[in-house]
Amino acid sequence: MSELIRVRLEPPYLLLIGSETDPIYAKTAMGIVQWCPEKVCGQLRFDPSALDLGVPDLSIEEAIDSGARSLVIGVATVGGLLPDGWLSVLKEAASAGLDIVSGMHNRLNDHAGLAEAARRSGARLIDVRVPPAGLPVGTGKKRTGRRILTVAADCAIGKKYAALALHRDMCAAGMNATFRATGQTGIMIAGEGIPIDAVISDFVSGAAEVLSPDNEPDHWDIIEGQGSLFHPGYAGVSLSLLHGSQPDGFVVCHDPSRTALSGWEHYSIATLQECIEVHLEMGRLTHPGIQCVGVSVNTSKLPESERQACLEEITHQTGLPAVDPLIDGCDAIVEYIRQQVED
Amino acid sequence: MSELIRVRLEPPYLLLIGSETDPIYAKTAMGIVQWCPEKVCGQLRFDPSALDLGVPDLSIEEAIDSGARSLVIGVATVGGLLPDGWLSVLKEAASAGLDIVSGMHNRLNDHAGLAEAARRSGARLIDVRVPPAGLPVGTGKKRTGRRILTVAADCAIGKKYAALALHRDMCAAGMNATFRATGQTGIMIAGEGIPIDAVISDFVSGAAEVLSPDNEPDHWDIIEGQGSLFHPGYAGVSLSLLHGSQPDGFVVCHDPSRTALSGWEHYSIATLQECIEVHLEMGRLTHPGIQCVGVSVNTSKLPESERQACLEEITHQTGLPAVDPLIDGCDAIVEYIRQQVED
């Protein structure tokens, strides 16, 4: 990513859990521990009853002694706002020189005392929801290197997880691959990225171009998808990301139990076949050779006895590998990519 | 449009021409004089050799005496920046109580002296490139009233002009219609609107929903299109606008002489038939009954002898009325809408 328009987070991270007890609200911290444990030096909990991520409990002072560079807010709050009670902790961390990394809705720099503490120590206040300045309009020009994008017929259906799992398994297979993050948790995991849905609409495809720049011919960017081409609120975001990413291949994330759009129940969900066809049709604009390379299936709501039949049926229908990445991993998709796309 | 999230400009306008001599750079002022002469009380020229719009030359004082409420910057500058030399004039106008209306890239409020002058007099500094705060995510819920959107296979091909001409001719035919502006010149003409391509991508379809709210069953919103579904830079903007507008009908703006995207010459232009089909397919998500209601053709580059044959060929191909709105007006499209969409 161009040096001028990226933010790079500095590990090791101290993960702020506070008093949170509910794993649902700690998805960010849990995702970081799951996908990049090497970036985590510890957790900061206000209370022994708070959720335990299985990493060392450290005070700010102890974290600094162990080399921490950033305090990452790892929990969401109701309404997405920073609790006032956290400010003294954040100020202490910033004063001690830790970058503060937040995905909250209110901006760190809006807290005058915190901004002043950071200014004095040279720590950075990084709101990962804020896109970098200076993003260009998309050119549509072909770039070198290869790209895979995860897509779906709805939001919140596993696009980030599928991209991370595919990236992991491509690396394990010895391929040269980079995970490219487009949302806040993904950015914290990757340590860099662009929060694509916060970009001004004219610049979203350009942001996607910046996110996966020219690369070596055998290099693969695995790009975290956002939204859905079939979503009445977010389809434009997804189309810009598709066009700017110019993927050689896309993985469709699919939940066979979902019949309507989550939170938009007045919309029924597109079929897997429709989802593949529309992505092929719309993706051809910037990459005529685009193809679907696999289906990532969430089988968690199926009885164990029906799981395998479901995956086989999808493969039969589509001619593509179908895996539940949580259970099967993505090796079948990696193999398909090597056979069908690499040549 | 919801009172909470719109900007309304106050006519009469005094149009600032400055020393501009080139009509290309005065397109905004010329568009305002052409489409809403009733909103214009005069022009402010620094030099008798500057472009003359055929409206009275007025000083700021004279304009105020004749009832002016806003000074509208009617010319573009190289780079889109406000020339320093204009600041004293803008300050004088703001001090006298005129709202200042600008489509420039740099913001009026960033000029401290101007902001102070406006604060003292109560004048507003209105940057029409800045979208209102508080726009929602699109719901995709059906709204009452009818809607027409102008679309195209490329940018800068006549979408604003076609929408204005169609609105004019629908009103002349006694229909209940409102022009809905999505770009800066359109907003100055309509006196309100949302600069859709400056909205954060997550909220563009929601902005389009706000722009054309529930209305009477026989009311028509004629919505100015932006970008193109076939443009590698802007397709996401266009898709969000299509989804949020939920048009009953769309008019395709077509330039038979254009073979590649303007400024993106490495992209050939989609055919008229492809353009219609993709808009039907993608538009059905939020309005299953969407249809194409006509073709607005720019015939200016054709010899007069070929003009009529070109329009007839398009009608033959598509079964739709084809007009050059500049020459023929849009009555044929109005008639088609009354016959095919109103029932």
What tens digit of pLDDT does each residue of B195-240 get? Answer: 999 999 999 999 999 999 999 999 999 999 999 999 999 999 999 9
**How far, in Å, are A126, B39, B58, B110, B165 from residue B34 at the CA level?**
48, 11, 19, 31, 11
Closest CA to A85 of A124, A111, A109, A56: A111
What tens digit of pLDDT does each residue of B172-204 get? Answer: 999 999 999 999 999 999 999 999 999 999 999
pLDDT for the residue B1: 47
pLDDT bucket at B342, cuts 50 / 70 / 90:
low
Identify all chain B residues contacting A206, using CB atoms and an 8 Å cutoff: 233
Supply B22's token pair: 């080139």
Rounded to the nearest 10 degrees, what angle do helices A235-245 and A272-283 cross at?
50
Q: From 3.40.50.300, 3.40.920.10, 3.40.50.720, 3.65.10.10, which CATH number describes the B3-127 domain?
A: 3.40.50.720
Q: What are the residues facing A149 on neighbouring strands?
A: A223, A250
Instruction: Say which CATH topology domain A146-340 has.
Output: Rossmann fold (3.40.50)
Interatomic CA distance for residues B57 and B68, integer angstroms: 13
Q: What are the residues facing B253 on neighbouring strands?
A: B152, B296
CATH 3.40.50.720 residue ranges for chain A: 3-127
CATH 3.40.50.300 residue ranges for chain A: 146-340
- Residue B96 has a CB neighbour count (10 Å cut-off) of 16
Give residue A110's Cα distance to chain centre.
Answer: 26
CB B142 within 8 A of CB B301: no
What tens digit of pLDDT does each residue of A210-239 get? Answer: 999 999 999 999 999 999 999 999 999 999
Alpha-helical segments (H) within A52-183: 60-65, 87-95, 112-121, 159-172
pLDDT for the residue A252: 98
pLDDT for the residue A85: 85
Substitution target from A143, A202, A286 for chain B, most B beta carbons within 10 A: A202
Substitution target from A135, A142, A201, A265 for chain B, most B beta carbons within 10 A: A201
Alpha-helical segments (H) within chain A: 27-35, 60-65, 87-95, 112-121, 159-172, 184-190, 204-211, 235-245, 272-283, 304-318, 325-328, 331-340
pLDDT for the residue B85: 85
Average pLDDT for B31-52: 97
The conformation of residue B174, written as its DSSP 8-state character, comes to: T
Q: What's the mean per-residue pLDDT of chain B?
A: 95
Interatomic CA distance for residues B86 and B133, integer angstroms: 28
Supply A145's token pair: 């290197």
Chain B residues with CB under 8 Å of a chain A CB are 137-141, 196-202, 204-206, 230, 232-241, 243-244, 264, 266-267, 278, 281-282, 285-286
Beta carbons of B230 and A285 less than 8 Å apart:
yes
CA atoms within 13 A on the CB side of B36: 23
pLDDT for the residue B104: 87
What tens digit of pLDDT does each residue of B127-145 get? Answer: 999 999 899 999 999 999 9
Closest CA to B249 of B311, B321, B198: B321
pLDDT bucket at A78, cuts 50 / 70 / 90:
confident
Tokens 């929990």, located at residue: A75
Beta carbons of A201 and B237 less than 8 Å apart:
yes
What tens digit of pLDDT does each residue of B255-289 get? Answer: 999 999 999 999 999 999 999 999 999 999 999 99
Identify all chain B residues contacting A137, using CB atoms and an 8 Å cutoff: 233-234
CB B196 within 8 A of CB A102: no
